[in-house]
């Protein structure tokens, strides 16, 4: 028996990076996967890969900062696969790259709209769908080590990732009694296009950050984070609720 056999799952931001790897892993574990992303080309390529490997997936175009599009994403899921069982709210923009005194207000607004409000909107309509089905369901929000530990030069990202942990706790407090489990995964430094782009903006390479960002001596791989979300969405985590799973090579102890 696969760990997510016939479960219907939405994974936002799954055209690349950790979201993509989560979509591939969940499909291998028997889930019907909605690949939800505003990158249509990348999203459709992930769907093709899953279907070519014998899995089940469909692409949904969504910008999670737009409430109407998030509602359409839920409708698309229910129309395509009949219900919703789990969601991994993973989509986010790359961190800002300014010191505090140079805080970029324009990027602040965009990051807030995607990373914080977008995650909240996804939760709102996922929870409504779970309730309409009579309760049950699992949500995993992808936050960051930056929700627990500061780094230099990305104050907006850090603030909104703290917010994602706040959303996780607030919703967990209310909806456990309805059988809806809500948790977060906090990745450390993971080898994805987002990290590559952030390093490039800072004029740095992987080897520059490993000593201060991992006790294991290397970056994490997207699949290592995907396994964390898989556990939290699976029935093996039936009593795990309102908590955070750090997947960061011990970064939080450094
Ligand atoms: N890479 C890291 O080291 C790292 C560390 C900690 C936390 N995270 C978090 O992990 C998650 C995944 O990061 P990643 O590194 O795989 O990122 P990535 O940039 O490689 O992929 C992000 C995906 O999200 C999509 N996306 C962005 N904004 C969207 C929107 N408004 N609507 C729909 N889709 C949107 C992008 O198109 C892309 O496919 C993010 O929440 C990120 O903040 C990443």
- Residue 210 belongs to a domain with what CATH number? 3.40.50.720
Contacts made by residues 207-212, CB under 8 angstroms, sequence distance 24+:
212/254
Cα 90 to averaged position of ligand 1 atoms, centre (Å)? 6
The model's pLDDT over 38-90, given as tens digits with 9 standing for 90+, comes to 999 999 999 999 999 999 999 999 999 999 999 999 999 999 999 999 999 99
| Phi, psi torsion values for 160, nearest 5 degrees | -75, -30
- In angstroms, rounded to a whole number, what is the distance separating the alpha carbons of residues 87 and 213? 28
- In angstroms, rounded to a whole number, what is the distance separating the alpha carbons of residues 20 and 190? 13
Is residue 1 a part of any domain in this protein?
Answer: no
| Phi, psi torsion values for 246, nearest 5 degrees | -80, 125
Q: How many domains does the chain fold into?
A: 1
Low-confidence ranges of the chain (pLDDT < 70): none
Whether 27 and 4 have beta carbons less than 8 Å apart is answered as no
Sequence-ordered list of residues with C-beta below 8 angstroms from that of 50, at least 6 positions apart, any chain:
23, 24, 27, 33, 35, 56, 57
Q: Which of 14, 65, 143, 144 is catalytic?
A: 143
| Residue 11: alpha-carbon gap to chain centroid | 7
Cα 182 to averaged position of ligand 1 atoms, centre (Å)? 19
Containing structural domain, residue 154 = 8-253
- Cβ neighbours of 120 (radius 10 Å): 20
pLDDT value for 1: 87
Give every strand in the sheet of 181-187, ordered side by side: 56-61, 32-37, 8-12, 86-89, 138-142, 181-187, 244-247
Left, alpha or beta for 191 (phi > 0: left; psi -120 to 50: alpha)? beta
Active site residue 20: no
- In angstroms, rounded to a whole number, what is the distance separating the alpha carbons of residues 76 and 78? 6
pLDDT value for 104: 96
Is residue 159 a part of any domain in this protein?
Answer: yes
Hey, is 152 helix, strand or coil? Answer: coil
Active site residue 157: yes
Active site residue 161: yes
pLDDT value for 191: 97
Is residue 76 a part of any domain in this protein?
Answer: yes
pLDDT value for 125: 99
Is residue 2 a part of any domain in this protein?
Answer: no
Ligand 1 pocket test, pick from 11, 43, 92, 95 with the greatest ligand atom count within 8 Å of Cβ, gives 92
Closest ligand 1 atom to residue 187 Cα is 6
Is residue 3 a part of any domain in this protein?
Answer: no
Judging by beta carbons within 10 Å of its beta carbon (0-12, 13-18, 19+), is residue 227 exposed, middle or buried? Answer: middle
Nearest-CA neighbor of 186 among 238, 242, 138, 147? 147
- In angstroms, rounded to a whole number, what is the distance separating the alpha carbons of residues 4 and 212? 36
Is residue 58 a part of any domain in this protein?
Answer: yes
Is residue 175 a part of any domain in this protein?
Answer: yes
Cα 53 to averaged position of ligand 1 atoms, centre (Å)? 24
């Amino acid at each position: 028996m696969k760990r997510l056999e016939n479960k219907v799952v939405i994974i936002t931001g799954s055209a690349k990076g950790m979201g993509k790897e989560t979509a591939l892993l969940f499909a291998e574990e028997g889930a019907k996967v909605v690949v939800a992303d505003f990158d249509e080309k990348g999203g459709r390529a992930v769907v093709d890969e899953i279907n070519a490997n014998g899995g089940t997936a469909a692409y949904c175009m969504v910008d999670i900062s737009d409430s109407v599009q998030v509602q359409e994403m839920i409708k698309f899921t229910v129309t395509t696969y009949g219900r919703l069982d789990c969601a991994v709210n993973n989509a986010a923009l790359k961190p800002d790259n300014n010191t505090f005194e140079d805080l970029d207000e324009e990027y602040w607004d965009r990051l807030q709209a995607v990373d914080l409000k977008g995650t909240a909107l996804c939760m709102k309509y996922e929870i409504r769908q779970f309730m309409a089905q009579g309760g049950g369901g699992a949500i995993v929000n992808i936050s960051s080590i930056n929700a627990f530990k500061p780094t230099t030069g990305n104050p907006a990202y850090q603030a909104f990732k703290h917010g994602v942990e706040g959303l996780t706790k607030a919703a967990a407090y209310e909806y456990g009694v309805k059988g809806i489990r809500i948790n977060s995964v906090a990745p450390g430094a993971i080898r994805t296009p987002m990290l590559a782009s952030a390093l490039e903006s800072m004029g740095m390479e992987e080897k520059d950050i490993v000593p201060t960002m991992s006790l294991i001596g290397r970056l994490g791989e997207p699949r290592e984070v995907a396994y964390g979300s898989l556990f939290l969405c699976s029935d093996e985590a039936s009593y795990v609720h309102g908590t955070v799973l750090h997947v960061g090579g011990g970064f939080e102890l450094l």
